[in-house]
């Protein structure tokens, strides 16, 4: 494991789904902040298996170092099933993944990240945390507008105006591709963290955890698996 950077006098709340990106972001936050809590959302997602892997992942992250064990605090699980009630997408319904007329895949859940960040900000306010950490990325992604840097910056302004706070939204993966995301995990936690992410996180939109591929579990064909697999193989090739 790399030496941690000097910790900052802030507390962070990490949006932690149990996937590759959010686990990398959790490691990044544990490296940077003295106090770290996590938040997850049950929104009726088709790949709800991600919620089942979260507790084990959190426990294993604690085992990486005494510092991480001390810094990692409470986990918050929030019921946002209303999203599936008002959405009709391939992530909340058992339908084929396709492209829509607006150029976005039907895996896009309108308003999801906006709602996630708003709820996270509310929890952070109550918990005395002043940094929100999310795995949004517009470098190597499916084109979701709520993953863009401009969206996160605008949301940070709106949240702080609406709650009279000085919350900071951190997106460590915003400008790096999936290969670089694997490399960041290696830089922070060495091969042990890469192996944990490969075998214990979940990204596949279809919730498939049958065979363990070189890049992890998944169907191998959905957009999430495609990004993860290509990124891993580029990471290995550049090593």
Instruction: Give the HSE-up count for residue 175: Cα atoms under 13 Å, Cβ half-sphere.
Output: 3
The pLDDT confidence band at residue 6, using thresholds 50, 70 and 90, is very low
CA angle (190, 169, 34) in 5-degree steps: 55
At residue 99, does pLDDT exceed 80? no
The reported pTM is: 0.90
Tell me the two tokens of residue 178. 């999936």
Q: How far apart are CA 220 and CA 205, in angstroms?
A: 10
pLDDT (0 to 100) of residue 7: 47
* CATH for 8-238, options being 3.40.50.720, 3.40.50.620, 3.90.1640.10, 1.20.1260.10: 3.40.50.620
């Amino acid at each position: 494991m790399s030496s941690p950077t000097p910790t900052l006098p802030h507390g962070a709340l990490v949006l932690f789904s149990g996937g590759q990106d959010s686990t990398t972001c959790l490691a990044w936050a544990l490296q940077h902040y003295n106090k770290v809590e996590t938040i997850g959302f049950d929104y009726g997602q088709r790949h709800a298996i991600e919620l089942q892997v979260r507790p084990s992942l959190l426990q294993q992250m604690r085992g990486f170092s005494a510092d991480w064990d001390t810094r990692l605090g409470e986990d918050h699980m929030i019921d946002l099933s209303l999203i599936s009630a008002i959405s009709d997408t391939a992530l909340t319904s058992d339908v084929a993944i396709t492209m829509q007329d607006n150029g976005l895949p039907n895996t896009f859940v309108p308003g999801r990240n906006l709602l996630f960040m708003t709820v996270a900000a509310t929890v952070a306010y109550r918990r005395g945390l002043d940094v929100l950490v999310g795995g949004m990325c517009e470098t190597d992604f499916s084109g979701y507008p709520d993953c863009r840097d401009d969206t996160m910056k605008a949301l940070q302004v709106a949240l702080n105006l609406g709650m009279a706070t000085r919350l900071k939204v951190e997106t460590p993966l915003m400008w790096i591709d999936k290969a670089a995301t694997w490399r960041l995990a290696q830089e922070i936690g060495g091969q042990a963290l890469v192996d944990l992410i490969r075998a214990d996180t979940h990204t596949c939109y279809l919730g498939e955890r049958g065979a363990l591929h070189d890049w992890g579990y998944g169907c191998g064909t959905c957009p999430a698996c495609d990004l993860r697999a290509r990124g891993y193989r580029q990471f290995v090739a550049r090593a």
